[in-house]
């Protein structure tokens, strides 16, 4: 198999790297949740991830949806742009934050590269180091449950690149091809490790198969989420957390009302139509 470094490949790599490393941050929500009131909240939620969570301040979008629905939540985050879960699995600061509270939920961010191509992603994407997904999830699960055995661990199914792998010489997976590989791999891995799936990428797939608009959920780097993409992700996470549908919620996250209500419906249907598949409910 031939791999080349075309001008398009290099341009995409530079854009992805730049956008993934800018605005790095680790703590969010100073005006959404009160750190001194964590013990009185209905739920404590920790987000662990990188730029897919930091773009458009995903934890804040989730917190706003939760509060709009009249629930009380304490949210914290450990988000470092440009880092995969293997970084967090071995990071002392991430472990320290895990141990700060008896979290009800820890939400882990997925990345399309290693979720779609867990064994071969370093070969398909040569500049990227190998970031093993299964062992990273196993390590994080062990640390999370050691802190609180009742914590529910949620892995966000990632979305595919908007143009799949077609921007790489020698590769021809479309967005749909890549997304279906991500879907299959995440389902298998989550059931093996007994962790919950928030089907974010599959909700994206349901939206994108019905629209031809370029950069509707993706930004112009074909990778990171637009504000619409982040809002849809927030909706999927909300429904995963509470296992209840979002319907006509009057918080639109800065996007237009029609799109917001549509995303609420898609997220609700995607999650609620198969709770067993997403490990949210045991088989009878």
**How many angstroms separate the CA atoms of 126 and 8, rounded?**
15
Q: Report in angstroms the alpha-carbon separations of 91 from 107, 142, 153, 201, 228.
A: 16, 14, 18, 26, 31
| pLDDT confidence band for 129 (50 / 70 / 90) | confident
Q: Report in angstroms the alpha-carbon separations of 131 from 113, 118, 120, 123, 137.
A: 9, 8, 10, 12, 11
Backbone angles phi, psi at 199, to 5 degrees: -80, 60
Predicted confidence at residue 23, as pLDDT, reads 44
pLDDT, tens digit, 9 for 90 and up, residues 53-111? 999 999 999 999 999 999 999 999 999 999 999 999 999 999 999 999 999 999 999 99
**Contact present, 74 and 41 (Cβ < 8 Å):** yes
Q: Where are the domains of the chain?
A: 7-200
Of 2-11, 118-127, 272-281, which has the strongest mean pLDDT? 272-281
Cα 281 versus chain centre, distance? 20
| 152 C-beta neighbours (distance < 10 Å), count | 19
Predicted confidence at residue 155, as pLDDT, reads 98
pLDDT, tens digit, 9 for 90 and up, residues 243-275? 999 999 999 999 999 999 999 999 999 999 999
* Angle formed by the axes of helices 227-242 and 58-68, nearest 10°: 50
| pLDDT confidence band for 284 (50 / 70 / 90) | low
Rounded average pLDDT over 126-147: 91
In the beta sheet, which residues pair with residue 197? 155
Rounded average pLDDT over 272-284: 90
Q: Tell me the three state secondary structure of residue 47.
A: strand
Q: For the chain, how big is the Rg over CA atoms in Å?
A: 18
CATH topology of domain 7-200: Rossmann fold (3.40.50)
Q: Report in angstroms the alpha-carbon separations of 34 from 13, 31, 61, 251.
A: 39, 7, 16, 20
**Contact present, 98 and 144 (Cβ < 8 Å):** yes
**How many angstroms separate the CA atoms of 281 and 111, rounded?**
25
Would you say the C-alpha torsion 45, 69, 65, 238 has a positive or negative sign?
positive
Backbone angles phi, psi at 56, to 5 degrees: 65, 15
């Amino acid at each position: 198999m031939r791999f080349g470094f075309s001008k398009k490949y290099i341009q995409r790599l530079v854009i992805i790297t730049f956008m993934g490393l800018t605005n790095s941050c680790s703590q969010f929500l100073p005006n959404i949740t009160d750190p001194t009131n964590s013990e009185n909240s209905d739920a404590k939620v920790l987000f662990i991830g990188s730029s897919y969570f930091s773009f458009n301040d995903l934890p804040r979008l989730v917190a706003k949806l939760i509060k709009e629905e009249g629930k009380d939540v304490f949210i914290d985050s450990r988000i470092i742009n440009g880092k995969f879960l293997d970084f967090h699995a071995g990071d002392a600061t991430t472990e320290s934050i895990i141990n700060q509270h008896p979290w009800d939920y820890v939400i882990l961010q997925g990345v399309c590269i290693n979720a779609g191509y867990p064994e071969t992603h370093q070969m398909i994407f040569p500049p990227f180091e190998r970031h093993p997904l299964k062992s990273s999830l196993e390590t994080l699960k062990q640390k999370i449950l050691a802190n609180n055995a009742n914590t529910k661990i949620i892995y966000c199914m990632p979305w595919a690149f908007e143009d799949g792998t077609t921007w790489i010489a020698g590769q021809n997976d479309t967005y749909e091809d890549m997304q279906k590989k991500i879907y299959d791999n995440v389902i298998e891995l989550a059931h093996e490790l007994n962790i919950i799936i928030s089907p974010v990428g599959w909700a994206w797939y349901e939206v994108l198969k019905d629209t031809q608009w370029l950069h509707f959920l993706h930004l112009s780097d074909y990778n990171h989420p637009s504000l619409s993409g982040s809002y849809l992700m927030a909706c999927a996470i909300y429904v995963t957390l509470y296992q209840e549908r979002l319907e006509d919620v009057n918080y639109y996250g800065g996007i237009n009302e029609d799109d917001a209500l549509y995303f609420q419906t898609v997220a609700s249907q995607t999650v609620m139509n198969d709770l067993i598949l997403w490990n949210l409910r045991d088989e009878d």
